[in-house]
Chain A
Amino acid sequence: MSVELLNFIETVLNGLMSGVMYSLVALGFVLIFKASGVFNFAQGVFALFAALTLVGYQTGQVPFAHLINELFGTNYHNWYASMPNFLAILLTMVTMIALAWIIERLVLKHLVNQDPIILFMATIGLAFALEGVGDLMWGSDVKVLDVGIPSGGSIWLEEATIGLAAEGSDYYGMYVDVLNIWATVIAVILVVSLALFSQYTKTGRALRAVADDHQAALSVGISLRSIWILVWAISGFIAMVAGIMWGTESGVQFSLSLIALKALPVLILGGFTSIPGAIIGGLLIGVGEKLAEIYIGGYFETGALENWFAYVMALVFLLFRPQGLFGDKIIERV
């Protein structure tokens, strides 16, 4: 095989892996939008908050320590040295469920029957509030997140592919980060579990009923409020998974909340109401931006296509299929 072809395959593979990371964020958006019609702008901050909380629990950090010390002249920082990963993840999940409940009580409950734009604005407010609370609770330092997921280039893949190039060519094997392989495996497990949950459990069927028609679901006795709490809790869990993956890659810090912006083109491509759409959209965006950066980036003086090419793809897509690949078709009756 020629080195160029192998490099092309490597770019596509890495694009797919990055796409999975985007899909993890997009999934949370889709779940909430399907169940409650709310475009949750705070999904990126959810991921940040979950990752901050997880590191906080892992390292035994006292929440609001800075505030407490300032108010009472104390000097508390940590109350234990470390916590096992499993327990820290479990506690973070409980925290995200509690957060979903608080959001339902304080925000959503008061905005039932409001226009979607009002709900969207509320989630913008929520994003800022949650970012502030996260800052107060856990501080703004860059935090090292390690839950035992390996990272770094896969040596196995490198060695397995080095012989594929023609003899004598300057090729040193294919590169894929092990962390991204793990993210793919976790995303597959997540999507399969979600599908099984919504297909084969009573609560899952109720969730789908609410997603299809709120009024009809209410009329057969499904509690809209408990379903909303459940959906926000599930998307909080997905945000935690996304936060772990992204946080392991870059350290947990406040720029993590900006990953939500990476999910927008994914949603435009895949549709706001489709879980497979979020996955396929993510993969397309991931591959598209990597190919664009590597193969046409050199023709642009400003470069850095990797960050904005996804939006160009989304805009082009909007012209031909505004509802996205798998979104519900928009039918306007006259």
Chain B
Amino acid sequence: MRIKQILIGMIASVIAVSSYIEMAIADLKFPMLVYRTGAYAPNGIPNADGFVDYYKMINARDGGIGGEKILHPECETGYKTQVGVECYEKNKKDAMVFQPMSTGITYQLIPKATADGVTIYSTGYGRTSAANGKVFKWVFNAPVTYWDGASIAVRHILKQNFGNIKGKKIALVYHNSAYGKEPIRTLETLSKKHGFKLMLLPVDHPGQEQKATWLKIRKARPNYVLMWGWGVMNQVAIKSAASIKFPMENFIGIWWSGSENDVLPAGQGAHGYKSLTFNAPGTNYQVHADIKKFVHDKGEASGDGSHFGTVLYNRGLFQAMVQVEAATVAQKIHGTSKITPAMYRDGFENINLSAKRLEELGFKDFAPPFKISCENHGGSGLAAVQQWDAKAKKWNMITEYMYGDSDVVQKLIAEDSSKYAAEQKIAERCN
């Protein structure tokens, strides 16, 4: 009797599991590599919340993408490269796209995902030369790359100095990792082109102690400081800059060094600090109204909903929107809602987020329009400068979206990607 019961139970379980698997394959799987714990959690959480809230909103408002629900399993990486790779291996089956949320993890996943036929989307981070779609078929880093970012920061400085920065000193304070080292090559090339002196100042993980770095800056008195930081490194750097009375309006961070978390601990000292950005902060957008209506008001907010509208939350929304749009485009191209990972990649390569399309998606004036093509996986290359108002506790956009130095950046991308193609024996496509 007992054996019979066990057998019936086992058969029932097998039927239940197989029907679940069938259902899961029909859905669209967007695995999330997140870091909700560890030293970088304060940045990882709002960003992940943005993703989750957007996916939930699409599922609730539209019934998914073309009727297919979005599955978004989370895997905790703790911002550790090795764990990120394990998360990828665990979740890669039937996955449409991976957003590694770490340049180190992105570098490790590029060859793996290329071999497995899985799309990698590193929004404004990762390997810059992946913008060359002729070589990096499965990797996208639109709308803007680190090398664009470096040249946009220099362009902003040029504008402030009436086009002449010869003899000026610019220091780069950077996270001593694959991420932080990305802009060095571009800045070295730009320093030759414009005649400025470049100081390189690495800061090791996590960046809790930077006194010697800022003593060096105090002695050398650079005219400008650029920062490629992440996590506690940003907060300590901004506070240290304020402490040595470095003029904050001459301190410019990359878009990952420009969230509320980075400036609030420095209090009034952070007033005037600048950072680049490729998306707007705030909640005055249709997408926020929809998320509020379909997710938050139903008590379904990711986390406690306290990050709603912050810089990193909004970036998560933007990243998720691009990923969802790729699926929509893929469904249109292939005439089916049940797309495969290969079809999804085709969708990504044909994204056209025009101003009109952004408005339709609830992102009017949220980010500049951009297009992805077979050759260009890096998008528009546009970013703006935002400045922190410590009294009002808010970021203000102080420039229009602007291009970097495409002559320099495109040449470097071509050089680096051809080197990679030669190493990996990749034949260029899109011809």
Contact = CB atoms under 8 A, between A and B. Distances in A.
B215 A255 contact: no
A177 interface: yes
Contact of B235 (A250, A259, A302, A308): A250
Contacts, number: 122
B187 interface: no
Contact of B42 (A10, A254, A302): A254
A152 B218 CA distance: 14
Interface in A3-42: 7, 10-11, 14, 18
B42 A250 contact: no
Given A18-B211, A175-B244, A306-B213, A255 B265 contact: no
B176 A290 contact: no
Contact of A290 (B42, B212, B245): B212
Given A140-B37, A153-B244, A249 B200 contact: no
Nearest to A179: B243
B206 interface: yes
Interface string B208-225: 111111011011000000
B360 to A, nearest CB: 33
Given A140-B42, A254-B38, A73 B243 contact: no
A246 B236 CA distance: 10
Given A251-B235, A303-B202, A304-B202, A144 B264 contact: yes
Interface string A38-69: 00000000000000000000000000011001
Contact of B269 (A73, A152, A255): A152
A303 B184 CA distance: 14
Given A66-B303, A251-B235, A256-B208, A175 B39 contact: no
Interface size range of chain B in the complex: 35 or more
A294 B216 contact: yes
A262 B236 CA distance: 16
A175 B200 contact: no
A151 interface: yes
Contacts of A115: none
Interface in A131-190: 135, 139-142, 144, 146, 151-153, 175, 177
A128 to B, nearest CB: 10
Contacts of A307: 203-205, 209
A303 B200 contact: yes
B213 A293 contact: yes
Interface of A: 7, 10-11, 14, 18, 65-66, 69, 73, 77, 135, 139-142, 144, 146, 151-153, 175, 177, 246, 249-251, 253-256, 258-259, 262, 289-290, 293-294, 297, 302-308
- The 6 A-B pairs with the shortest beta carbon distances in the complex, nearest first, are A251-B265, A293-B212, A307-B204, A255-B39, A304-B202, A304-B204
Given A141-B261, A302-B176, 14 more contacts: A14-B212, A66-B303, A139-B304, A140-B36, A140-B45, A153-B244, A246-B208, A249-B239, A251-B264, A253-B39, A262-B209, A293-B213, A304-B203, A308-B204
